[in-house]
Structure 1
């Protein structure tokens, strides 16, 4: 890639090209993801979304936002402090997400039910806490939807003791098409700039939500969807919908 391509127009052009490709190539997998999500909601389940680092942006995109499904729950390493009583200083450890047992604690604090679905998001798909969460949820009978980069995950060693990656465990995998290392634009002399996974991940999440709504509507079921709290009646209406899932979904301050 030439130096002339390392600019705003270059990223827009390359990023849109990837988006156009995945909106076509991912349709079948998005449909399968939506089938998992619709089944979960229709059977009274909750969709638990988990990710670390910048993948938390996609957790927020799925769980608890206007236009999104109500029975969604955000899981985070911060839950150890928010709900588990751990000292806030534990979050200062940059290697915390590599520690064994962390995912099991986060899972336990959420108290999932068997009908609940787990959406686990990781660009690399090899981080210890990510793989541990997938394995723990799978062992307890949950279906797993993964959003990851297959290019990245197959280009790096598996770091979990099992030797497995998130993509190896999930029932359905949505490939965000991000390159190894995530950055899209190659710079002259080496290195690259401008991460892609959030852009493509948001597209995949919203495609899956749209397809889920379509499946439910076709089946004669009105999807429980959030209205913006900043329109008249939105806040009150959302509280009414949330009552169905009282004690099962959490809305921590962001």
Structure 2
């Protein structure tokens, strides 16, 4: 067996992208319908992911070409806004346990019409599952992005025994294998994770479908311009004022 190459990873990425595009089209459409309805009701998108799945939340909330009515929830919010000591962020306990989810929900202060998009490759860590449970208990639609293969093979860390997929209205499979990495290397290990690429694909497909629906209804989608083009800041600030106090934009 040879060592993995850039070309090998490109081929694996193309295969995963093709699979997601073919198999998740229906789920993407359902997710877009939920988000479009939420925005029409003056809701916003509450996006959350831990670890590398935070990349999904960054695709959804606060980037050029994305939807302005979107908020990124992050584990560090418990320190930045919730008064917890910085030491709270050390190690895996915050992600694996359930006790910070209630504070994250409180800090996000969701409106009744808000929709949640939560990403977790494993779909079993306590904080992710507990936040999903809180979202559903408060009546919010929930879209989950996870690895169907990985989540089926690992034990849930939430005391309820539930996985993220068990709580969602729409479940999107990111096509990542068990362990996320796709290229075999020596010693039986694998390298090069794929979930961030396919999660970004799903996020942008959802955004595209939401925009299509808004324009089909004769409205103007509230979409960010790049802050690095002339007039971008002014355009973005004007849209952000509609959601003042509801969307956080941190470095």
Given the two structures, how large is their TM-score scaled by the length of structure 2? 0.97
Corresponding residue of 1:158 = 156
Q: 2:71 aligns with which of 60, 70, 73?
A: 73
Contact kept in structure 1, 2:49 and 2:74, CA below 8 Å: yes
- Give 1:100 deviation, angstroms: 2.7
Contact kept in structure 1, 2:97 and 2:157, CA below 8 Å: no
For each residue in 1:159-200, what CA deviation from the matched residue of structure 2 results, as whole angstroms up to 9, or x when unmatched?
211111000100001110000000001224301000000011
Corresponding residue of 1:38 = 36
SS of the equivalent of 1:236 reads helix
Q: 1:25 aligns with which of 3, 6, 23?
A: 23
- Give 1:102 deviation, angstroms: 0.6
Q: 2:53 aligns with which of 25, 31, 55?
A: 55
Corresponding residue of 2:196 = 198
Corresponding residue of 1:64 = 62
- Give 1:86 deviation, angstroms: 1.6
Aligned length: 251
- Give 1:81 deviation, angstroms: 1.1
Corresponding residue of 2:165 = 167
Corresponding residue of 2:177 = 179
SS of the equivalent of 1:3 reads coil
Over the aligned positions, Cα root-mean-square deviation in angstroms equals 1.0
- Give 1:101 deviation, angstroms: 2.0
CA distance in 2 between partners of 1:213 and 1:15 (Å):
26
Greater shift, 35-44 or 239-248, is seen at 35-44
CA distance in 2 between partners of 1:212 and 1:166 (Å):
23
Residue 2 of structure 2 is aligned to residue 3 of structure 1: yes
For each residue in 1:1-58, what CA deviation from the matched residue of structure 2 results, as whole angstroms up to 9, or x when unmatched?
x425x21111111110111121121111110010011111111101000111001111
Residue 133 of structure 2 is aligned to residue 138 of structure 1: no
Residue 229 of structure 2 is aligned to residue 231 of structure 1: yes
CA distance in 2 between partners of 1:27 and 1:114 (Å):
27
Contact kept in structure 1, 2:56 and 2:203, CA below 8 Å: yes
Residue 100 of structure 2 is aligned to residue 102 of structure 1: yes
CA distance in 2 between partners of 1:164 and 1:90 (Å):
25
- Give 1:84 deviation, angstroms: 1.0
Corresponding residue of 2:123 = 125
Given the two structures, how large is their TM-score scaled by the length of structure 1? 0.96
Greater shift, 99-108 or 62-71, is seen at 99-108
- Give 1:157 deviation, angstroms: 1.1
SS of the equivalent of 1:189 reads helix
- Give 1:99 deviation, angstroms: 2.6
SS of the equivalent of 1:69 reads coil
For each residue in 1:117-174, what CA deviation from the matched residue of structure 2 results, as whole angstroms up to 9, or x when unmatched?
0100100000000000000110010010001000000011122111110001000011
**Structure 2 residue runs without a partner (length 5+):** none
CA distance in 2 between partners of 1:100 and 1:159 (Å):
9
